Amino acid sequence: MKLSGLLGGYCVIAIASAVATSAQAVFIDFETLSNGDTPVSFTSVAASEYASLGVTFVGGETVDQPKFRAWNSLSTDIADPPINNDWFIGTFSREGPFFDLDILFSVPAVSVSGDVVISPAVSVTVTAYDGLNNVLDISIIPSGASTWIAGSFTFSSSTPINRVHLLPSDPNFSVGLDNLSYDLEPTAVGGSVTGMIPRKIRCEDRETGQRVTIPLPDDGAWNCEDAGLVLDPGDRIRQRVTGIADGTASVGGTATGISGTTARCDNKSTGKWVVIDLNGDNTWDCEEAGLGVRTGDSIVQSVLGTAEQVGPPPDVLTVSIDIKPGDDRNRINLAKDSAVSVAVLTDSEFDALQVDPASVRFVPGEAAASRHRSEDSDGDGDIDLRLRFDLDDTVIACGDTEATLTGATFDGQSITGTDSITVICN
């Protein structure tokens, strides 16, 4: 066991931190767990610890491999561990041979790099594979290094990388990994529907106003970007499908490449509709959500969300808003009202007139303001921004108790504000 070096049979280990370094770049140094905690048990399993960042690990096709390893558990007779570096992951066994190590990407990567931890007596072959297990590139880390980090590998490929395999030349030596960096291939914005024959599919980027109409797919699936929609991560995207219920399955759909989504299903034949908060699951079932559907009914499915990005979302500033200024209960009558007024309020820390009215959306309907003006909406002497939204576009429904505005200032600062509402249904 050339890479164990147990201290009295035990060793406290902690694991790597994971830092998103750009819109699609991810860096994991294994100093903490994915939730920020530091584990205290030696050889904690690392296999699925970073699955939320799109990567899992396998050691020799064996469960519970690889494991977290402490740098100070390695023999200083071979080499001193790196300074200010506590943890890495590696294959580990107290009996029999060690294992090779696989890095598996749930979303294909366009580039991958990392440091290989191995005894200087052993070489390592690092191989990158595509989704069909075809070899894309090979890197050889030779033996004879003077440090435990024997070398590094870097792969960059126009063909997406699904797996990277680390294979030591001698199975009696453990192989480890540190400082993993990768760029994930963005998932294309698109989707699919079930239980209906699409007649028209439209994708819209609410940031730029660009729209594309997609030829009708035979399989009910589409790709907005292949159809010419140009977007950036974080753009608000709306996809809308119209068609006829065919009775082959429950009416529903799936969206790809967007997050924070809300789906709306309309049965135009009956005038009924439902709104579904997807809560991170981009698949919905209109009928399960309560929409009655018969074969031959005219159906519209819309899904709203933001184009996905890997890494932290942009900072969002919370601002004060007042729905139905002048009405303390913020009453909205679905039968009588045709519009809803909302004021973005100016205070000592925020100037509402810096908000770009064209960027403001009323959630969950993603409604844009039909008009706006500057006025003192709350009577405090400051000038606020008052916006008017068509009620039908807001998707306010019976039972709703609050509503939210999102938007941005002219200099790009994202904002959000929420206020309570009282919905009158009849």
CA 350 to each of CA 34, 361, 369, 382: distance values in angstroms, whole numbers, following the listed order: 35, 19, 21, 11
**Co-location of 302 and 338 in the same domain:** no
One-letter amino acid for residue 309 of the chain: Q
Q: Containing domain of residue 105, as a range?
A: 18-184
3-state secondary structure of 397: coil
**What secondary structure letter does DSSP report for 61?**
T
**Whole-number Å distance between alpha carbons of 297 and 279:** 28
Last residue of a domain, one of 143, 164, 184: 184
Cα 245–Cα 248–Cα 249 angle in degrees, nearest 5: 85
- The 10 Å CB-count burial string (b at 16+, else e) for 206-219 is bbeeeebebeeeee
Instruction: Say if 128 falls within a structural domain.
Output: yes
User: Are 290 and 330 part of one and the same domain?
Assistant: no
334 and 406 in a single domain? The answer is yes
List the CATH number of the domain containing 41. 2.60.120.200
Q: Determine how β-strand 196-205 pairs with β-strand 258-267.
A: unpaired
DSSP characters for 215-230?
PPPTTSEEETTTTT--
CATH (domain of 400) = 2.60.40
Token representation of residue 412: 């790009």
Contact between residue 189 and residue 232 where contact means Cβ atoms under 8 Å apart: no
Q: What is the DSSP string of 370-401?
A: SEEEEE-SSSSSS-EEEEEEEHHHHT--TT--
Structure tokens at 21: 């370094």
State whether 246 and 348 are in the same domain: no
Distance in angstroms (rounded) separating the CA atoms of residues 330 and 422: 6
My answer on whether 104 and 137 are in the same domain is: yes
Q: Is residue 75 part of a domain?
A: yes
9 assigned to some structural domain: no
289 falls within a domain: yes
* Span between the terminal Cα atoms of the chain, in Å: 76
Last residue of a domain, one of 115, 149, 184: 184
Q: Same domain, yes or no, for 203 and 164?
A: no
Total domains in the chain come to: 3
Q: What is the length of the chain?
A: 426
The one-letter amino acid code at 310 reads V
Q: Which residue has the tokens 């694991």?
A: 15
Is residue 399 one of the residues assigned to a domain? Answer: yes
pLDDT in tens, the chain (426 residues): 233 222 222 222 222 334 333 335 789 999 888 777 775 555 688 888 888 788 999 987 777 889 888 888 888 888 888 877 888 998 877 666 677 999 999 878 889 999 999 999 999 999 999 988 899 999 999 999 989 999 999 999 878 899 999 999 988 888 999 999 998 876 788 888 999 998 889 899 888 888 888 877 666 788 888 788 888 878 889 999 999 999 999 999 988 888 767 899 999 999 999 999 886 668 899 999 999 999 999 999 999 888 875 444 446 788 999 999 999 899 999 989 999 999 999 998 899 999 999 989 997 678 899 999 999 999 999 999 999 999 988 888 888 888 889 888 887 788 889 999 999 987
Residue 286 and residue 197 share a domain? yes
Helix (H, G, I), strand (E, B) or coil at 140: strand
Decide if 202 is inside a domain: yes
Among residues 262, 289, 307, the one where a domain terminates is 307
Q: Are 54 and 103 members of one domain? A: yes
Residue 417's Cα: distance from chain center in Å?
22
Do 101 and 225 share a structural domain? no
Please write the tens of the pLDDT for every residue from 367-404: 899 999 999 999 999 999 999 999 988 888 888 888 88
Distance in angstroms (rounded) separating the CA atoms of residues 248 and 175? 51
Mark whether 88 and 26 lie in a shared domain.
yes
Give the pLDDT of residue 217.
65
Q: Is residue 5 part of a domain?
A: no
Same-domain check for residues 31 and 137: yes
Q: Let me know whether 178 and 194 are in one domain.
A: no
pTM over 0.75, yes/no: no
- Listed as own residue / partner, the contacts of 225-229 with beta carbons closer than 8 Å and 24 or more positions apart are 225/188, 225/189, 225/190, 225/257, 226/188, 226/190, 227/203, 229/189, 229/203, 229/205
Residue 241 Cα distances to 118, 141, 208, 304, 325, angstroms:
54, 52, 20, 12, 36
In a domain, 2, yes or no: no
